[in-house]
Structure 1
């Protein structure tokens, strides 16, 4: 890595960790779902942090997945499923539509307001809110896709799984390899 990378203390614990690199989000997601079904906690599963965090922690050095597989300084992040991102996008878009409509209703709930005027105001007030919400929701989805695409372009999506005993280690390795994980191996520590 770069000499310009900030030096900070990294806490390493003596629990083995399985590592795998994935060339597609679909394979990664399938592996994570199988790990969860096999009893691994979401707290045992981590991924590489996003590009901004990588720059903060490792400096401006060019990185490849293979360089970070066994690096205790590699920043970690939790896995976020496509379903969770979809729910977030829906909540953002729907929330802005609701907010615009609620403001319009509140403004028009006067004794002089007619039902037709109130309905028109809700439609007019809710539409800009829905548009703003949709734009923000798309940005969230794009950031999520860009996160994975950037890792694929730099050698693959990294996945680490804490494996406290030999039986769990074997299960994790088998799942990672079964979903096209490359360079699957175990190191004796985890962050």
Structure 2
């Protein structure tokens, strides 16, 4: 896929941005939580996009984190916490259990069915659906883990933070460095 300069372009805004590279998810997450506790909005925080976004925006080249820190064409993604992934996994698994149980319950709750038969139908209908939900939930969690593992293999997890003034720049740099961020610096624009 080649970029067409007439239709493919990146919009820059004149808001400085701090950038840092992290070697593991735990320190990245701690830095993000500290940023948010210090007044940065989650909308000011972005990470590198996944492989598909990279291929779409930058082609099939092999990119390292150091090559993308200050590349305005690097695709961005929002941070998703482990807690949010856990909630999503629970919702997927629970939703499938509920759906299976509801279908079985609707089929069995007739005037002629007994309570024992209805409970058995709900358990039998909900069980396989819960297994399907658990498998799908595990895939969601694994995709999330693979996303970070792939970035670590490519030189680290990139984190960008929009900063509106010098005080915010200094604070962002201090937080990123305080959580073992590497190559922490500020550039004069953001995407």
- Normalised by the length of structure 1, the TM-score is 0.97
Structure 2 gap segments, 5+ residues each: none
CA distance in 2, matches of 1:182, 1:23: 8
Correspondence for 2:168:
168
Report what 1:103 is aligned to. 103
Secondary structure, aligned partner of 1:27: helix
Q: Which residue in the other structure is 1:149 paired with?
A: 149
Alignment pair present for 1:184 and 2:184? yes
TM-score (norm: length of structure 2) = 0.97
Which residue number in structure 2 is paired with residue 56 of structure 1? 56
User: How far, CA to CA, are the matches of 1:170 and 1:59 in structure 2?
Assistant: 34
Q: Which residue is 1:121 aligned to?
A: 121
Q: Are 1:13 and 2:13 matched, yes or no?
A: yes
2-structure distance, mates of 1:149, 1:5: 28
Tell me the residue number matched to 1:86.
86
Cα 1:87–1:24 change in 2 (3 A) is same
Task: Please state how far the C-alpha of 1:33 moved relative to its aligned partner.
Answer: 0.1
Structure 1: 5+ residue runs without aligned partners?
A: none
Contact 1:5 1:57 in 2 (8 A): no
Alpha-carbon distance in structure 2 between the residues aligned to 1:41 and 1:120: 49
Cα offset, 1:111, TM superposition: 1.0
In structure 1, distance between residues paired with 2:27 and 2:70: 21
Is this contact kept in 2: 1:163–1:169, CA < 8 A? yes
Question: Which aligned runs of 4 or more in structure 1 are off by greater than 3 angstroms?
Answer: none
Q: Distance in 1 between matches of 2:106 and 2:142?
A: 34
Partner of residue 27, structure 2: 27
Q: How far is the alpha carbon of 1:6 from its aligned partner?
A: 2.2
Q: Deviations over 1:57-92 (max 9, x none)?
A: 111000000000000000000000000000000000
**Paired residues of 1:5 and 1:60 also in contact (CA < 8 A):** no
Q: How many residues align?
A: 188
Determine the C-alpha separation between the residues in 1 that align with 2:163 and 2:2: 29
